[in-house]
Amino acid sequence: MAYPFQLGLQDAASPVMEELLQFHDHALMIVFLISSLVLYIITLMLTTKLTHTSTMDAQEVETIWTVLPAVILIMIALPSLRILYMMDEINNPSLTVKTMGHQWYWSYEYTDYEDLNFDSYMIPTPDLKPGELRLLEVDNRMVLPMQMTIRMLVSSEDVLHSWAVPSLGLKTDAIPGRLNQTTLMSTRPGLFYGQCSEICGSNHSFMPIVLELVPLENFEKWSTSML
């Protein structure tokens, strides 16, 4: 999860988020190089009184500053399209979980089980135990197996919500009357926090998401105890 004064993105816990981090660094380096070049040219123009007349009206220079931006845009677009297709691809999910947004809590239903569903409310600040995080802890965490492909079905029963977990690279809109889907897979166990990322009313800030990723045998024990 994020920590105070953090400048970068959260540590990746899924293959998709690792790709997003690499693309972020790739695009940021291109922006840095372009900004440095522009600043250097502006500095030269302001500090020198000489004018190179042949470069002010040259077909070659015009060709370069037309083709070069197009090449840079392609260098950004191709990795971006690749990641978009990766995020939309769903390959034989091992588990399907349906999450519904409400004002202002989440409900989860494990559709592969006959009667495994529950609501997840934020724990009020006075009820927090030592070490628990304010505005991020819930009474019922969503427990999932790690290193397995999981399909999330996201919808809403009232207004627009958005189910987002940054460290897993997930952000899917919950729209009434529409069923969106996304893929989730964690490369390591742990607790992963998220929040509703669409303004949904007065208590929008009070509907957190907590995912507990555990080994498969631990998930089986948990699911058995919940049935």
Mean per-residue pLDDT for 149-167? 94
pLDDT at 156: 94
Check pLDDT > 70 for residue 97.
yes
Confidence (pTM): 0.84
Mean per-residue pLDDT for 134-154? 93
Query: Encoding tokens for residue 183?
Result: 């893929």
pLDDT at 51: 66
Query: Encoding tokens for residue 209?
Result: 């998401």
Mean per-residue pLDDT for 63-90? 90
CATH T-level fold of 95-226? Immunoglobulin-like (2.60.40)
pLDDT at 45: 81
Assign 3-state DSSP to the chain and report helix, strand, coil percentages, each to 5.
40, 25, 35
Mean per-residue pLDDT for 123-146? 92
Spans of all domains in the chain: 15-88, 95-226
Check pLDDT > 90 for residue 227.
no
Average pLDDT, the chain: 90
Structurally, at CATH architecture level, domain 15-88 sits in Orthogonal Bundle (1.10)
Mean per-residue pLDDT for 145-173? 93
Number of CB atoms found within 10 A of residue 117's CB: 14
Number of CB atoms found within 10 A of residue 152's CB: 23
pLDDT at 57: 66
pLDDT at 54: 64
Q: Are strands 208-214 and 95-102 parallel, antiparallel or unpaired?
A: unpaired
Residue 168 binned pLDDT confidence (cut-offs 50, 70, 90): very high
Check pLDDT > 70 for residue 67.
yes
